[in-house]
Chains A and B, each alone.
Chain A
């Protein structure tokens, strides 16, 4: 969720373009959390998330003079981040030996914190964990364009237009990608639910 003024970020970026590192520090403070969450959902690896978030801000600084004032800052930032995530995935597919321990889909304490409710029963918590693991696994296997559109729409509250800027496509294209992402996810989760009788997710995709 973006809790700060977008115009303010653009102004900060203008100052960064002038070499003001203090403005960069402010941007890092503002965007570290949403960016970290986005990257984590994308790569689902803590160490990689840390590296990629850092690299995103370095790239942001390197490309500071090319920042387009007409583009929303968040679109630009997530465009850099999603490209880095994509490159990371490509690299990881070529180096499967580099898979970390938390990419083995074992239960991780903070993986899906929000999916559990403190007031729910142990059975419900277990079921929610199963749902979350299936969802993570499905998102992890989703193609880049669909995944980016889905994550930016559901978790960064970005408009179609902003996502379009980040993906380099039209707002109509974003709509299509979201439709395809939901369909892809529904199909994948339904297959998993059928395969595993203990699965807790039941799908009613509102497409």
Chain B
């Protein structure tokens, strides 16, 4: 026999002791029979059947018989899961597309100083809120275009080789644009027009624009040579998504791909 010491002491000090089992077995309960139980159960069942029929008036009640509440609970849970997954997928897809456009635009401006200088600051702010470096862009291109190790190395070298030139061209173009705007402002307030100055300014600007376009075109041609035709197709499509006119003539995957 097991039990704590206080229990044993309590047990010994009482002559009319009973074991726990005796005590439990002595608890006899006789709940009075309910004469109307059967009828009440049948009434409830009939009411439930009516409710079921009202809920499924279009012959759908057979679905309920497939598994009762459990089936509906499972079906509801599955439906909710599918809807949540679909909403999540649509949202993610939408965000990914937005990111893709923003990245395409940023990259395009990095490799196209002419376009970069001609579009006012903030015009594409919603598309390119960040200011990515060339290396950031390459990391993104590596996964987007599924570049091999060699392709990636070649593109890194190519981009690094052109980066300074692009920055320099962009600064020159910004300077010449600022000069031209200054000249226009001066001309509006002055009766005299220095045509020679205007000619030189326009010629210099045109030279810079041509140089910029040519450099970008040359750069894209070199990039396309590194890529496979499929990657080249994707690359050009991605440049096309930049939201800015490409302005790089004579470039297509057919004539520039690897």
Q: Which residues of B contact A190 (CB under 8 A)?
A: 4, 6-7, 10
Q: Which residues of A contact B29 (CB under 8 A)?
A: 37, 40-41, 110-114
Q: Which residues of B contact A40 (CB under 8 A)?
A: 29, 31
Does B44 contact A202, Cβ atoms closer than 8 Å?
no
Residue B54 at the chain A interface, CB threshold 8 Å: no
Given contacts A63-B68, A112-B28, A154-B25, whether A57 and B41 have CB atoms under 8 Å apart is: yes
Residue positions of A touching B, CB distance < 8 A: 21, 24-25, 28-29, 32-33, 36-37, 39-41, 46, 49-50, 53-54, 57-58, 61-63, 65-66, 110-115, 127-128, 131-132, 135-136, 139, 150, 154-155, 182, 185-187, 189-190, 193-194, 200-207
CB distance from B235 to the nearest CB of A (A): 60
26 contacts between A and B (CB under 8 A): A24-B41, A32-B37, A39-B31, A54-B37, A57-B41, A61-B45, A62-B69, A65-B68, A110-B31, A111-B29, A114-B29, A115-B26, A115-B27, A132-B27, A135-B23, A182-B20, A185-B20, A185-B24, A186-B3, A193-B10, A200-B14, A201-B23, A202-B16, A202-B17, A204-B7, A206-B1
Residue B38 at the chain A interface, CB threshold 8 Å: yes
Q: Which residues of A contact B31 (CB under 8 A)?
A: 33, 36-37, 39-40, 46, 49, 110
Q: Tell me the complex Cα distance, A206–B24, Å.
A: 12
Does B7 contact A62, Cβ atoms closer than 8 Å?
no
By size class, the interface of chain B is: 35 or more
CB distance from A31 to the nearest CB of B (A): 10
Residue B48 at the chain A interface, CB threshold 8 Å: yes
CB distance from B251 to the nearest CB of A (A): 69
Given contacts A25-B38, A193-B10, whether A207 and B2 have CB atoms under 8 Å apart is: yes
Q: Which residues of B contact A154 (CB under 8 A)?
A: 21, 24-25
Q: Tell me the complex Cα distance, A205–B24, Å.
A: 11
Q: Tell me the complex Cα distance, A87–B21, Å.
A: 28
Q: Which residues of A contact B126 (CB under 8 A)?
A: none
| Least CB separation from A132: chain B residue | B27
Q: Which residues of A contact B37 (CB under 8 A)?
A: 28, 32, 50, 53-54, 57
Q: Tell me the complex Cα distance, A173–B10, Å.
A: 31
